[in-house]
Structure 1
Amino acid sequence: MADVDSIFERLKTLAAEACLPGIEEASHYGQPALKVGGKAFVSVKNDETIVLAIPIEEKERLMEMAPDIYFQTDHYRGWPSLPARVDLIGDDELKVRLAAAWRYKAPKKLAATYQG
């Protein structure tokens, strides 16, 4: 099991590999997070879980697609956030999810410049 700092390093590395522009390292509810345009698109919840920004209508699809990775608690029900088990999500999948979360939260002009 990874610790919060190594998980955050992994997120930063994969976001850089995905060439996501305008990323800010910050905190979100006291936890390490990556933001774009001042809005968190991913945060580290603990040493097992990250939380991705995602449109509510896509949450069910991902939980059905990979229930071992994506899950929901009462806290996140009805909110555009989806917890993911960090030890079970591969780098390629995580990079795709980071790019999608970034697109969801990025200002429209900045999102339009992204070629990923």
Structure 2
Amino acid sequence: MKPLEELRKLCLALPETTERPSHGEPAWFVRDKKTFVMFADHHHDDRLAFWCAAPPGAQEELVAEEPERFFRPPYVGRRGWLGVWLDVPVDWAEIRAIVTDAYRVVAPKKLVAELDA
């Protein structure tokens, strides 16, 4: 499965998630309002990635530990968002956990509780 298709499957499996274009690329929203994941191929620089909301401190920790897999994305990186390269070997179970954490950061408490149930 292609990275975009796999990422789409993970995002849309979460409660009350929708997809629509944002800045010319697919993005996923909670209740069609808050973005939690953005696909990142719009610079067409031969790098494939996604950007996502992240728990406090996660961006700094992951980028410091594995800069070949994680990065501080432009525009939203200052808000703690995490960039994840998809053109390197990818562990999709780990990506699922990162996407789920992103969802938890922006979703209302009721939806997080539904996810945990």
**Normalising by the residue count of structure 1, what TM-score does the alignment of the two structures yield?**
0.79
How far the C-alpha of 1:73 sits from its partner, in A, is 4.9
Indicate which of 11, 16, 32 corresponds to 1:15: 11
Aligned residues: 110
Structure 2 residue runs of 5 or longer lacking an equivalent are: 42-46
Q: After TM superposition, what 4+ stretches of structure 1 lie above 4 angstroms from structure 2?
A: none
1:41 matched to 2:36? The reply is yes
Q: Deviations over 1:25-45 (max 9, x none)?
A: 112233201111311111111
Q: CA RMSD in A?
A: 2.3
Structure 1 residue runs of 5 or longer lacking an equivalent are: none
Local SS of the residue matching 1:25: strand
- 5 Å-filtered alignment, 1:84-103, equals 84-88=84-88, 89-103=90-104
**Normalising by the residue count of structure 2, what TM-score does the alignment of the two structures yield?**
0.78
Local SS of the residue matching 1:21: coil
Q: Deviations over 1:22-73 (max 9, x none)?
A: 1101122332011113111111110512111113422111112322110125
Cα 1:74–1:9 change in 2 (3 A) is: closer
Q: Contact conserved, 1:53 with 1:101, CA < 8 A, in 2? A: yes
CA distance in 2: counterparts of 1:110 and 1:13, whole angstroms: 18
- 5 Å-filtered alignment, 1:39-78, equals 39-46=34-41, 48-73=48-73, 75-78=75-78
Local SS of the residue matching 2:27: strand
CA distance in 2: counterparts of 1:10 and 1:93, whole angstroms: 13
